Structure 1
Amino acid sequence: MPIWGHVALLCRAIADEGRQDAEQILTKARQDAAEVITAARDAADKAYQQEIRSAKSKAYADAKQRVDHAELEARRAIMAFRERIIQTVLDTLDQRLQDFRKAPDYAAFLRLALKEGIDHLPGNQFIVEVNDTEVDLLHGEIEKQMGEESLQIEVKAAPDCNGGLRITTRDRRLRYDNSFAARRQRSENDIRREIWSVIFGTESTPT
């Protein structure tokens, strides 16, 4: 066979071997590509599912926050409404206390308020403060009190004392405040509990 025939056979063999190598490489590349594509799809699907879960979690958190906020606002509105009701009752009580100052029994109340203060303070010399419109009324009650006990009582007008009286020892070291304002303040918690019990059916305010 001429040399060119051998060369042609050799080239054909090399070409056939090259094709086989190329096919193997191509097959391997296709397999690698398929694996890469599959891995990418899996990663993309996981990322998508994660995004869905994150979105759901965020949506749930947002919804819960809105619900919690709405519940808080509702509780505040209810408490504000109940406080307005209680304050209305307390304002009515204050007005009735002021009206009581015109009642016939008010003089007897002043005498009892005076005795209560004296019983809580040491000594027998006192300064009593009362509204300037009630000084004369208190003098009459003091005369009754002093007739029963050995007491020295000085009465002073106090325009800011709107009902009741304030009693101070002569040296002004101790005071017993039996004014309407002080008595209501001391009793306010009990009054509020009574209002809650009567109006709202419970003896205490919610926390």
Structure 2
Amino acid sequence: MDICSNIYFAGSETSALLVTWTLILLAKHPHWQERLRSEIHDTLPNISSPHCFQDMDQFRKLKLLTMVIQESLRLYPPGLTAAREALEDMKIGEMVVPKGTNIWVLVPAMHGDAEIWGEDVNEFNPKRFEGGISEACKYPQAYLPFGLGSRICVGQHFALIEAKIILSILLSNFSFSISPNYRHCPTFKMLLVPKYGAPLLVSKLCL
């Protein structure tokens, strides 16, 4: 049961939440919707074809979409904590960590530190990732939506491809805006979820 639950939450719910939070952000920033829509149509002109997604190399060209997804993961990472156990006595800076100590890294604290990300840390600004993660912040190791190091999420690349496919299809066919019923309340329930759901107004595009 533990393994099945882990696969479900780590491999399904997280991807769904990534798309959900990204759509919420795009609904609040319609000019980014337009920019993404233009990029998607230029890069994937045959997106309505069932054979469109056979060439995965095309997704590497969706630079703006990648930047938006990265910024969404920075602001609303599905997983909020990363836990590690010290297997031996160790020293981090001036701090001595005894063997057996459990260390919890709070991802939002790392993603929301103005000293690392700049004064606009609380704003939706995908442009910060224009030069990649290494140039987006002072310490690239502070970007932890999938963890870091030898324990980084094994499904990271698959999840990003999933999100790109879903968002490409949705944005090429629909426009999104925030519903008057939307109440912004990110809540931790094993993962970061919108407590009152994500009611959006969806309009079919005339292609």
Q: TM-score, normalised by structure 1?
A: 0.26
RCO comparison, higher one (Cα < 8 Å, 6+): 2
Larger radius of gyration: 1
Decide which structure has greater strand share.
2
Query: Which one has the bigger helix percentage?
Result: 1
